[in-house]
Each structure stands twice: as C-alpha cells, then as structure tokens.
Amino acid sequence: MFDVHEMEVNFGPQHPSTHGVLRVLLKIDGERIIEAKPIIGYLHRGTEKLFEAMAYPQCIPHTDRMDYVAAATNNLGFVETVEKLLGATKLIPRRAQLMRVMLSELQRISSHLLWLATHAIDIGAMTPFFYTFREREQILDLFESYCGARLTLNCMRIGGMPDDLPHGWLDDLEAFTAKFDPAMDEYESLLTNNRIWKKRTVGIGVLSPQDAIDWGITGPPLRGSGVEWDLRRAQPYECYPELAFDIPIGKNGDTYDRYLVRMAEMRQSNSILKQCIPLVKQTPAGDIKAKISKVVRPPEGEAYHSIESPKGEIGYYIVSDGKTQNAYRCHVRPPSFVNLQALPAMCKGHLVSDLVALIGTIDIVLGEVDR
C-alpha cells in the first residue's frame, strides 16, 4: 500500500537530547530506525596526550573534565592507579579512604540524579527535573564546602586527600541522608508506576546478558540485564569490603529495568553514606595523607586499575618509564565510550523517539566518550 522510503537524517550534534555533542546518522523508514551510526569526537581534547606532558598530580584536574558530572570517581580511579603503581595502596589512612568512599557515593547519587532529570525530560516528563535538582543542589553544596568546586572537584590526591573535612560537614551530610530516602519515594511516585513512563520504557532497547558482556557494557546497563557484577563488590577498593550494600539487578534488560536499577542504586549509595558517617567520626581528624614522597615517580612498568563509576567501569592503564614524573602513556577506559557502542544494536527497529530514550538510558557523557 505504501512505498518504502528510506531516508538518512542526522540526529545531533546539536540536538538537546544527545546530552552533548553526539551525532547519530540515522537511516530511517518513516519513524522506524533501520540503521544508526554514532559519530563522535566533537569534544575530543586530547586528554591522553596531555597526561603524557604533565606530572602525575597535574593530571588530576584533567580527569575531572572527562566525566564532568562525576568528577570524584574519575579522580579516584586515577589516584588509585598511580598508588597501585607506586605500591602505596595499603598506605592510605582510613579516614582518607572513608572520605573517598563518601565523595564517590555522593557523586554517584548526583550523577544518577542528573541522569534521571534529563532522561525523564527527554521522554517528556518535565516534573522530575525540578525535584531531582533540589537534592542535587544540596550534594553540590556539600562538594563546594569540602573542596570549593561544585563540578570539577579535583578533590583527591595521590596518597590521600587534599584537606580534612570542614567543621560541620558530617552533620550536613547526615541531614542530607535523612532527607534523601523520602525524596527518592517522591521521584518514584512520579515515574515508577506511571503508565506513560512504562509505555515509553518497558521493552525498549532490550539487551541480553550475553550481548551486554560481548559489547563490554558495564555499570547499570549491565546490571539491568541481570548480571550481578559491581566492581565495588567484585574487586573491592578503599573500605568497601566492610560496608553493607546490595547490588540491584534487573530481569529483562530493557530501559525500564535500567531505570529501576539506577533508582535502587541511589538508595544503596545513601545507605553506604549513612554507614560511613559513624565510621569517619571514629577516625582521628587530620589523618588524611599517606607518608609518601611528594615527587611521584613510579617504577618502570605498567598497571591497569578500574573502579565503579556511576556510568560503569572506569579504568586507567598507565605505563611508566621509571625515569620521569610524567606518565609515559595513560590510557583511559571510559565506560560511556564503550557503552555507547551498543547503541546501534539497541535501537534497531525502534522509533526515532525511542532513540532519545535509549541515549538517556545508556547515560553517556560526551566529555568522557571523546576525552
């Protein structure tokens, strides 16, 4: 009855739903996607090249700028890799470890809140944005009172932390954690059983566990497909082994399950924060730096280390020549870059409007994709 008209259109790089400068070349038949080709690199700043030209401590601010909505976890991955290469992992004082965990979990919540706000807005639900940003502001205020910055935190150092917690910070954090669970209920009341939300997300972009592993997908998208794997549990770092938390997983691997996984993860992060507060209070104030040389010159060799960022596994592969204070090579394994690669497979056969939902559900940050 109708002719089949294939058409090629560009989605992005200026489209607001691409969360940055992602361009997707779409081959569509009406509204249905036949083929999608992500084109990236618009935000490439040569971070890995810059790492080679500056001393290790100077690299930390540059890691902020990769995943700029989750700077603390980027910092953590980098400093831990250098510490691993230095053999200083065990030397980090307990207070510094707990502070790192707290900042990472706060960062996880704030990154997921931003994801929830933009993901919901992309799909057409405007309201959650105003609620999630209310809590996100409080987290950014906590960051600001700790390190002076709200997004690009630069809040960790090789061998410890830059400063001790300011006076009253833990009380503010305690107040936040007490308020956060009711706030989560509020978000969920807006979306979880919302009929429109479910129609837009259930069964969209189904990813089987085998496919997810084959695509190298990590983080919430992997767990949404039912693979119970979290680096905080699988290869624990800092003081995660003594903290109790669940790893939420999904069943169907669709956009709705990934939504549920991230929502559950925020509650888990909040519970981790609650556990951390009394533990930090037991540690001596000011004990935040390991006694290691300020001149960071790791021995010749290489190390790969990764941590669980809000987006997935962020890994650093550092090659040191043992002679200079610069990394000979520092490769970043960005979770967004790897997860984005599955987009063409996920959106095949779906509508263009579902592509918006799928970009949101992968939770990419282009600063990290392009580095």
Partner 1 sequence: MSEIPPPSSTPPAAAAASAPPPARSVDDIKGDPLVASTVSRLGDAVTGAKEQVGEITLVVERDRIVEVCRAFKDDGFVYLVDLCGVDYSKFPNHAGPRFGVAYTLYSFQKNARVRLRVWTPEGEPVPSVTSVWKTANWHERETWDMFGITFSGHPNLERILMWDGFNGHPLRKDFPIRGIDTGARIYPEVFPEGGGPKAGSTGKDVKDVNVYKSEWKRYGTWPAAQIGGGAKPAAPAAAKPAPKPVAAAAPAAAAAVAEPAEDAEEEAE
Q: Which residues bind partner 1 (CB under 8 A)?
A: 40-41, 44, 46, 48-50, 52-53, 84-85, 87, 213-216, 227, 229, 234-235, 300-304, 306, 313, 315, 317, 319, 321-323, 326, 328-329, 331, 333, 337-338, 341, 370-371
Which phi and psi angles does 71 have, rounded to 5°? -70, -35
Nearer to partner 1, 195 or 323 (CB): 323
Nearer to partner 1, 135 or 230 (CB): 230
Distance CA 267, CA 369 (A): 27
Q: Which long-range contacts (CB under 8 A, 24 or more apart) does 180-184 make?
A: 180/109, 180/135, 180/266, 180/270, 181/267, 181/270, 183/131, 183/134, 183/135, 184/263, 184/266, 184/267, 184/270
Query: Which two tokens mark 152?
Result: 């690009």
CB of 224 to partner 1, least distance (A): 16
Nearer to partner 1, 297 or 333 (CB): 333
Beta strand segments in 235-367, E: 301-309, 312-320, 329-333
CB of 370 to partner 1, least distance (A): 6
Using the CB atoms, write b or e for 218-228: b if 16+ within 10 Å.
bbbbbbbbbbe
Query: Which two tokens mark 115?
Result: 């994801």
Burial class (CB in 10 A: 0-12, 13-18, 19+), 279: middle
CB of 359 to partner 1, least distance (A): 16
Angle, CA 187 vertex, CA 186 and CA 191 arms, to 5°: 120
CB of 321 to partner 1, least distance (A): 5
Nearer to partner 1, 68 or 328 (CB): 328
CB of 164 to partner 1, least distance (A): 29
Closest CA to 269 of 246, 250, 288: 246
Q: Are 365 and 336 in contact (CB under 8 A)?
A: yes
Nearer to partner 1, 128 or 312 (CB): 312
CB of 84 to partner 1, least distance (A): 5
Q: Are 103 and 146 in contact (CB under 8 A)?
A: yes
Tally of helices (H runs) and strands (E runs) in the chain: 15, 6
CB of 333 to partner 1, least distance (A): 4
CB of 262 to partner 1, least distance (A): 21
Query: Which two tokens mark 306?
Result: 């990764």
3-state secondary structure of 43: coil
CB of 233 to partner 1, least distance (A): 10
CB of 51 to partner 1, least distance (A): 10
Count Cα atoms within 13 angstroms, Cβ side, for 20.
25
Nearer to partner 1, 203 or 216 (CB): 216
Nearer to partner 1, 90 or 195 (CB): 90
Nearer to partner 1, 171 or 214 (CB): 214
Nearer to partner 1, 53 or 196 (CB): 53
Q: Are 303 and 81 in contact (CB under 8 A)?
A: yes
Nearer to partner 1, 63 or 110 (CB): 63
